[in-house]
Structure 1
Amino acid sequence: MLEFFEDSFGADVAYEQNGLYIPEVSDCMRCGLCVSHCPTFRINRIDEETPRRRIRTIDKILNQSVMPSKEELEHLDNCLQCRACETVCPSKMAYGQLLDQSRQKLAEMPKPARLAGFMEKLSLALIEHKPRLRFLSRLLGFYQRSGLQNLLRKSGLLSVLKLESYEDLLPPAIDAAPLEPFYLTTADRRGSVALFTGCIAESFDRATATAAIRVLNRIGFDVIIPGQQGCCGAIHQHRGQAETAARLAYRNVGVFNSLDVDAVVYTASACGLMLNEYGQLAIADFDDEELGFFGDRLFDVTHFINLHWPDKMPLQAYPKTIAVHEPCSQRNTLKNQQAVYELLARIPAINLIPLADNAVCCGAGGVHRLTHPHIADPLGAEKIEQLHISGADLLITSNIGCALHLAGGAGKLAPPVTVMHPVGLIARLIQEMG
């Protein structure tokens, strides 16, 4: 069928250029191992909300060129693309790629049954064009600082306009001012890195960006932030806009390949996953060697800091309980979540624990928390309940989407719990050497 299988078959099977085998539809084992790992099944408890049923819909789209029913498309669209099913599939199905391809083909059909909602269209348009997003960020920043936000909250108007749930997703402080292009280390210089900030991180997660810069400078690396970079393209790719995703990837590969740096580091795991998968896109004018050059220098910021941690780097003690949330992009695909634990374990007196049920998606799913709150909200609530049970003083996560999704609920606990990127805590606890 449509399922991609890893290179584990005999010599008599045919392979596509990407080295992945495409079997017949009957080769799906229907074993059901994916069912219990699917977050949407966890909520709805019906077979239509499982990967194995969605595969049948994908088969109709990709192999039969048949438009599925409205109900089938709704169940397909409910998928969070957490890719937990891939981790347990005995056939090693590349489910995420298949879903992307099916959405691209749906977008190309003359009369698609599924039309993107307003919030999805708006989100995609904004993050594709950074100047537009920066302008909106300035407006939202003014909205927060002027007191208008508190006034509208007290008036109840947000609830009347049904904007309360969206407003709750805003970070506490939006900073739309652009970052400087260069941040030079004052320590013994060991090299230079380029920081990938993508689309919303600069304005909506400025604390993490500045923390990453501080720590990287502190361990001896100059930090370059190229202004020409843009969105990684992940959300466009996952919503069927493959050409837009490839165009964004083309720009980023060109920008970062032109820099004389030792590494390209990212702070958001979802962006990192997309950057790592640029080789799967049809990016004009770049060959495998050029894409490989970009990818070979690509590092998660926590992993890079671990690799270059100085022998003597004083950190303040932090005798508190820290719960670690593992984003799906980090746990299921990048599989580099251990770097977070290794980095935080360097903090004296810390009590480090994984958040319970880390294998279950938090519900953020890119724009999913905007377009599918009926799925995102209960999954997020489960995480907040686990956080409350843990008694943790702080919640750590390496993805901005997860952080924004969980911050509202964590802040309403008694006492409130702050959500922070791991590099943010390290930056806070670095002791300056005399």
Structure 2
Amino acid sequence: MTLVSSSNLTVVLFAAGEGHRMRNLTKFLPKAMLPVAGRPLLSYSLLSLVQAGFQDLIVIIQEEDIQLASYLQAYETRVNLTVVTIEREISTIGALLRVSNLITGDFIIMSSDLISDCNFSKIIDLHMISNSSLTILLSDLSREEQELPYERRDKAASEIVVYDEDTNRLLALINAADMNNKFRLSRTILRKYPRLRYTTCWQDCYLYVCKHWILSFLKDWNAMESVKWELLPLLVRKQFKRSRYTADSTPGNVFDYIKATRSSTELTEGDPLRCFLYFSRVYSRRVNTICRYFDANFHIKETKFSCEIERFGSSSDISKRTQVKSDVIIGEGCKVGDRCSIRNTVIGNHCTVANNVKIMNSVLMDHVTVEAHCVIQNSIICHDSYVNSNCKLLNCLVEASCTVEKNTLIKDESIVKKTFACEAEDEWPSFV
């Protein structure tokens, strides 16, 4: 077995996702460019990879994402960063094949919406020591994110992960939506792995370490489109199939592509294809829903990225007569008036907060204006929005470039119109 370091692996970073489950945030801004604690979401993935020592990064974006392309063009890094544009309709496997000529060895597939405190070198170590064909990063979901009343919840069932407790070998990957309260495992698996476990409490982080032969297989077997929903389940299922080799490689027979990468002993024993799991017990989350976006803005301060985040922008003007707690982040070029109270909140660049405003547990993107005597709690205000005076927003999402009219009270709403006004007689909860 030949060991390789992270510097020898090519990383393919998918940044072409449209963010369908967080469409209220991504209508006018690519998902990868959504601000998290004042930095683009993509920047956390790039920073993690650079810190881990990866030297060759390929970032795949949509050809119409001009803002994202400009950001990557100006991104200063010492690594080899290649940006590849694709059409909107191309699948994840199609995108991977588009860059296959740039990949010469083992590689990593990663989503740009992943924020992880994990040490990626430990994942590589597991992959190499186990001689794994596929290694998947999972994160603990025991701590659920806060539910937001205006978010359309994803009703898709969770995955069932079956693995060996002693080695973390992945034995089965089952979409709970495809089963009727039961799932079956072969006798071979039950005999060989008596200490197996199954769980739904771990999230697939969309970080996969892969052997290079997988690319060769995909080039010849072009019947699949999805890395997550088609390629991964296929590889996991094939682990315990009897390997049948042919004189000439036949498309669809994965074992024909493994010959050059496994020893003769492994081929004889019929265990040439292995999949493993790496369980991350530190903060690792895909920011692929509004709820997780909201959660990430506050928990990023507890991760290794905290030293990269500037608490107050140097060009911001914050009144000395305003109370700003230590858990607040305020971007560049902001102006905050007198007698405001701001707690556990992230405020983007070039925002204006007038006098006597109270903001708690909220996210304000760039170029947001909040006029005097407003109360904002547990809400997201997207960029270029304007909140007029005497407004009260609780558990709300205000889309980009919206205007909230004066004296408006809104609860548990998503504001999508350019101008929105509402009258209500309900008693407003106290700001605590």
Fold shared per TM-score above 0.5: no
What TM-score, normalized by structure 2, do the two folds share?
0.21
Structure with the bigger percentage of helix: 1
Structure with the bigger percentage of strand: 2
What TM-score, normalized by structure 1, do the two folds share?
0.21
- Return the index of the structure with the highest Cα Rg: 2
